[in-house]
Amino acid sequence: MRNIVILISGSGSNMAAIVRAAEQGRWAHHLNAQVSAVLSNRAEAQGLAFAHDHGIANQVLDHKAFASREDFDAALMAEIDRHAPALVVLAGFMRILTPGFVAHYAGRLLNVHPSLLPAFPGLNTHQRAIDAGCRFAGATVHQVTAELDYGAILAQAVVPVLAGDTADTLAARVLTQEHIIYPLAVAEFLRGLL
């Protein structure tokens, strides 16, 4: 069985979408894959309750308890590696990862970003798209590299930027698309490993 480890920092809505897709699509049977663990850097991350309710191992590793980013990433890698992951999925994990972490999981580390990369890497993507006068925005699933929000694009979804949109209304519309394309991209990635 190929294990998927998902990293979250908050609500875990993309993690939940992936878990539901794995259950409904019977990934264990069809893709020989399962979500084996959910890890968070924040104890208050609401997604941990969802993981627990679905019988998925979950753990908190508080980044504030470590002296450096490197120390945290080393401890996080050790915890992830306990689950022998075929794939590590970032689902709203709000930490910039060290090059050593990214190199350790090279080729098996995915992220979803709320813009049409390569446009608007980093934070505040929705407001930046509105401020730039974009007619369209969206989301991108990509492989993670040491360069922030860079790497091979696996899937994208496009939404219109509507007159009167705020960063919040645009973000909500983009998030619904993330919930669709992220599970599909994960499943397609796993098929490529068969």
Rg (CA), the chain: 16
Catalytic residue among 63, 113, 126, 142: 113
β 153-160/136-143 pair status: antiparallel
Tokens representing 82 are: 């306990």
Neighbour count for residue 47 (Cβ, 10 Å)? 24
Question: Quick check: is 126 catalytic?
Answer: no
Neighbouring-strand partners of residue 142: 111, 153
Tokens representing 143 are: 């492989």
The answer to whether the CB of 110 falls within 8 A of the CB of 189 is: yes
Please, what is the end-to-end C-alpha distance for the chain in angstroms? 11
What residues are labeled active site?
113
